Structure 1
Amino acid sequence: MHNLLIGLLALLPFTALHTAELKLELGDTSRQWSSAQLLAHPQAQTIEISSDVSYKRSMQYRAVPLAALLAGVQPGDHLQLVASDGFAAELSAAPALSQTGSQAWLAIEDPAQPWPPLGNGKPSAGPFYLVWQNPAASQIGPEQWPFQLASIRKLAPVAQRFPQLLPAADASPAVQAGFAQYQKNCMACHRLNGAGDAQFGPDLNIPHSPTEYFSGDFLTRYIRDPQSLRRWPQGKMPGFSVEVLNDKALAELLEYLRHMAKTRAKQ
């Protein structure tokens, strides 16, 4: 009997034995999609990504338009995309639903045709990876390309979920703009004042803000190229180039961090 069972399993398709699942929680509805189901989705097609953020080159994927999976989601809604390692990207639903400008795709790794590893000793970007065509049209940054995606959730906006992140009502326009930059570029990996869903990087205000322990222009240099200040093989923080985070936006982000250092949560 044991040998017969092994023989029967051997006849099953490879994808039936090696399939991943993506969980969608969209308010009142919840669904799990397997990689096999998504690869067979009627809107699945092969797409070309000319400048892939993770692979740093042109890539081809079998993918489904993200909008096709977001039934009931409206442009004014807010999405959170969580990776298996705790990376939690925050995204307005509007660009994810758009049929023009930037286009969001859920790329699905076929177990029979696995993607290349992201580096020596690293896994691939699969089993699910949010990729974008024409990302500049909606100012989509690298933090909005989560790979090894595990779930997509519709949630209240960040300011409602985490009031600890809000600057003071009388904060300058630069600080308010910096809060937007923080949500876009930092929140996927970091918490601040203990607030946030990311489980990837350290808190940016507890026990101290980096604006307090980086002197001169070293924090700016660190954000631009972390390895230029700390040669650490295990370091995972990416550098933020001028093309991704221009000088004005970076200055606003630093203004927000300095402001929040004065409103540190009690430890």
Structure 2
Amino acid sequence: MKSILALLALLLTLPASAAQLTIELDHASKTWQTAELLKHPDARTVQIVDDVSYKRTMTYRAVPLASLLPGLKPASHVQAVALDGFAAELAVAPLLENTGARAWLAVEDPAHPWPALGDGKPSAGPFYLVWTDPQAGHISPEQWPFQISSIKQLQTVVERFPALLPDPKLAANSPINQGFAVFQKNCLACHRLNGAGDAQMGPDLNIPYSPTEYFGGDFLKRYIRDPQSLRRWPQAKMPAFSASVLPDHELDLLVGYLQHMAGRKQQP
């Protein structure tokens, strides 16, 4: 028994293992090892104030994400896939910026692992997309994927998932289409709709029922603002969307899109 306990104690003191990140672009593909990224010529030590995942100031060794996306044009689109099935849909233009809000790939050093995200939870590593000066680009929490395992260049959400589209007769700048844009930015990383999407975490938001069909009054908005205020359980993962992240007018647009799509159900 003593030998088993000693072995367990030794394992707990060992540093986190190195990892690898695959980046698949239309014109190139590369798998990066942790050590390579830590030694990347563009790697820097960056301080992130009010880190989205850790809720405090954090310091990371990180590489500008633009340095890892050679040849991509601003109109391109990528998806960052996490170990837990979170699939962040990311327009490339903000990722290429080198002023204002700037995207960095934080790399967890196995010799100096990051803290756990909570009791019984792992860290945000091995790779985590963080932003300096995020308020300059209106960056949402869904644009901070952690535990990233791969980044893939894909067609846009509209091209890949037509089942998400509002009525094509609507004007491009209609409130419903604006709500669709809010949905893509804030919801699609965790949820599917009409079976469309790549996320593996949250429930479908239209099949068999839209939340607009079973949340009465303003309870859906209250739920989005603070999920734990309506449904509380230990493993709940949906974050609260404060007004600073999702302003009231955008929340209204999002609910309008969901109400519209409740009338456009498509079976997966």
TM superposition score normalised by structure 1 = 0.92
Alignment of 1:248-259 (within 5 A): 248-259=249-260
Q: Report the secondary structure of 1:81's partner residue.
A: strand
Query: Following TM superposition, by how much is the alpha carbon of 1:243 offset from its aligned partner in structure 2, in angstroms?
Result: 0.3
Counterpart in the other structure of 2:6: none
The one-character-per-residue Cα deviations of 1:5-37 (angstroms, maximum 9, x if unpaired) are xxxxxxxxx88x931000100112111001111
Answer yes or no: is 1:147 the counterpart of 2:131.
no
The one-character-per-residue Cα deviations of 1:88-134 (angstroms, maximum 9, x if unpaired) are 11111111001111100000000000000001111000000000001
Counterpart in the other structure of 1:60: 59
Q: Partners of 2:231 and 2:267 in 1: how far apart?
A: 29
Tell me the amino acid that sits aligned with residue 64 of structure 1: V
The one-character-per-residue Cα deviations of 1:168-211 (angstroms, maximum 9, x if unpaired) are 02336111100000000000000000000111111000110000
Query: Following TM superposition, by how much is the alpha carbon of 1:234 offset from its aligned partner in structure 2, in angstroms?
Result: 1.1
Query: Following TM superposition, by how much is the alpha carbon of 1:231 offset from its aligned partner in structure 2, in angstroms?
Result: 1.4
Tell me the amino acid that sits aligned with residue 28 of structure 1: H
Q: Identical aligned pairs, as a percentage?
A: 62
Aligned CA RMSD, in angstroms, stands at 1.3
Answer yes or no: is 1:202 the counterpart of 2:203.
yes
Question: Which segments of 5 or more consecutive residues in structure 2 lack a partner in the other structure?
Answer: 1-13
Counterpart in the other structure of 1:9: none
Alignment of 1:1-267 (within 5 A): 18-171=17-170, 173-266=174-267
Tell me the amino acid that sits aligned with residue 147 of structure 1: F
Count of aligned residue pairs for this structure pair: 253
Query: Structure 1 residue runs of 4+, over 4 Å off?
Result: none
Q: Partners of 1:231 and 1:158 in 2: how far apart?
A: 32
Which range is displaced more, 108-117 or 164-173?
164-173
TM superposition score normalised by structure 2 = 0.92
Q: Partners of 1:137 and 1:145 in 2: how far apart?
A: 15
Q: Partners of 2:112 and 2:133 in 1: how far apart?
A: 26
CA contact (8 A) 2:127 2:148 kept: yes
Tell me the amino acid that sits aligned with residue 75 of structure 2: G
CA distance 1:226–1:27, shift in 2 (3 Å): same
Query: Following TM superposition, by how much is the alpha carbon of 1:266 offset from its aligned partner in structure 2, in angstroms?
Result: 2.9
Q: Partners of 1:231 and 1:163 in 2: how far apart?
A: 34
